[in-house]
């Protein structure tokens, strides 16, 4: 059964001197908790975060800039190991948080589909079998044989989304990539995302767009300076937002 279980998660970035935040730079107006001095400086981007998700859940991650949303996605994807706490994931995970990540700029869209498929462990036969469906969903037409570097952000987003969802992930992690597609593609992508969640998958989407979150998610996790509020249903979150606005 697909599930995510996060228990008391803490993630601290250790900052080397060359990694910015030197004392003569402007103070960070927002973000995680800065600690230490000089080479021992660190940022605690997530602290004491706990939540559980089950099959069919579509979680929205919300919070101001630097709240820890992207860091949480990266921990769920396994890019960063927790500094402390536990993350237990059951299910095949794929991520779409940087549209250009993992694409060869010089290679065509078609070649990039092959490369991504191979990285995902598909055989050439499996790639061939999915190729036309991926191209059709992306609606890139003849541009599929143009180098990736010639694509607009929206075109790159179409290809990235089409490949990632063709890989049939059980858990899909996303940030606001969807904003790069035009309105029609966004509708199509939303339908496919909902279908994926219905097929007993889990979606985690970090976004600043209330409309997108309301349409896509059933649960909301609000992060602030790296700490999380208790999980809310999307209805509770909307009601709280409306109340705060009054």
Ligand X SMILES: Nc1ncnc2c1ncn2[C@@H]1O[C@H](COP(=O)(O)OP(=O)(O)OP(=O)(O)O)[C@@H](O)[C@H]1O
**How many Cα atoms occupy the beta-carbon half-sphere of 189 within 13 Å?**
27
Candidate ranges 47-55, 62-70, 107-115, 166-174; the one touching ligand X (CB under 6 A): 62-70
In the complex, residue closest to ligand X by CB: 31
User: Is the Cβ of residue 65 or residue 123 nearer to ligand X in the bound state?
Assistant: 65
Binding-site size, ligand X (CB under 6 A): 14
Taking CB under 6 A as the criterion, the residue among 68, 109, 181, 201 binding ligand X is 68
CB 70 within 8 A of CB 97: yes
Q: CB atoms < 10 A from the CB of 65, how many? A: 10
Nearest-angstrom CA–CA distance, 78 and 172? 13
Q: Is 70 in the site for ligand X (CB under 6 A)?
A: yes
Q: Is 98 in the site for ligand X (CB under 6 A)?
A: no
Q: Is 43 in the site for ligand X (CB under 6 A)?
A: yes
User: Is the Cβ of residue 60 or residue 63 nearer to ligand X in the bound state?
Assistant: 63
Candidate ranges 52-60, 67-75, 90-98, 236-244; the one touching ligand X (CB under 6 A): 67-75
Q: What is the dihedral of CA 128, 134, 136, 142, to 10 degrees?
A: -80
User: Is the Cβ of residue 65 or residue 150 nearer to ligand X in the bound state?
Assistant: 65
Q: Where are the alpha helices (DSSP H) in the chain?
A: 69-77, 109-119, 124-138, 153-166, 183-198, 210-216, 234-245
Q: Is 227 in the site for ligand X (CB under 6 A)?
A: no
Residues in the chain: 246
Q: Is 60 in the site for ligand X (CB under 6 A)?
A: no
């Amino acid at each position: 059964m697909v599930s995510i279980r996060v228990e008391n998660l803490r993630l601290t970035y250790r900052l080397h001197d060359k990694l910015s935040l030197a004392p003569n730079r402007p103070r960070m107006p927002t973000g995680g908790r800065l600690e230490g001095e000089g080479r021992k400086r660190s940022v605690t981007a997530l602290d004491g975060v706990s939540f559980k998700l089950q099959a069919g859940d579509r979680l929205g991650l919300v919070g101001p800039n630097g709240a820890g949303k992207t860091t949480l996605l990266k921990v769920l994807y396994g890019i960063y190991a927790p500094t402390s706490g536990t993350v237990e994931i059951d299910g095949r995970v794929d991520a779409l948080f940087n549209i250009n990540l993992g694409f060869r700029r010089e290679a065509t869209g078609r070649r990039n589909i092959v490369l991504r498929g191979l990285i995902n462990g598909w055989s050439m036969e499996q790639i061939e079998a999915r190729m036309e469906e991926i191209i059709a969903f992306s609606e890139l037409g003849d541009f599929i044989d143009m180098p990736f570097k010639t694509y607009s952000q929206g075109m790159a987003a179409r290809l990235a989304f089409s490949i990632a969802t063709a890989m049939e992930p059980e858990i899909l992690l996303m940030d606001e990539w969807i904003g790069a597609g035009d309105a029609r593609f966004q509708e199509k992508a939303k339908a496919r995302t909902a279908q994926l969640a219905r097929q007993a998958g889990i979606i985690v989407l970090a976004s600043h767009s209330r409309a997108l979150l309301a349409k896509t998610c059933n649960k909301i996790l609000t992060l602030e300076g790296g700490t999380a509020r208790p999980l809310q249903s999307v209805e509770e979150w909307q009601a709280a937002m409306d109340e705060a606005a009054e």
